[in-house]
Amino acid sequence: MKRGDAVYDAPVAQGLLDLRAIAAYLSVSVSTVERFVREGMPALDLAEHDRRRRPKRLLRFDPAEVLRWARERGQSGNGSR
């Protein structure tokens, strides 16, 4: 490598990411990630739910699965159903 060559390091995520981390990884807001989940983005819900109460979610995301979903979504047009 010679002087002046640009070196770009892409962030590599390993393991499962929480809601804020996946939003930062995708460079979108948390509310956008929540909308993506409603639209079918793969997520793991690790919370245990009491049937008598409203379910609380503890979402975790696999970055490789999310990128695969985003690429497939992008190839199908604008992502609309």
Domain of 38? 19-47+56-73
CA distance 40 to 46: 17
Asked, for residue 66, whether it belongs to a domain, the answer is: yes
Q: In the predicted model, what is the mean pLDDT of the chain?
A: 82
According to the model, what pLDDT value does residue 52 have? 86
Q: What percent of the chain has pLDDT over 90?
A: 53
Asked, for residue 42, whether it belongs to a domain, the answer is: yes
> What is the Cα gyration radius of the chain?
16
Counting runs of H as helices and runs of E as strands, what totals does the chain give? 3, 2
Q: How many folded domains does the chain comprise?
A: 1
Could you report how far apart the first and last alpha carbons of the chain are, in Å?
47
Q: How many CA atoms lie within 13 A of 32 on its CB side?
A: 10
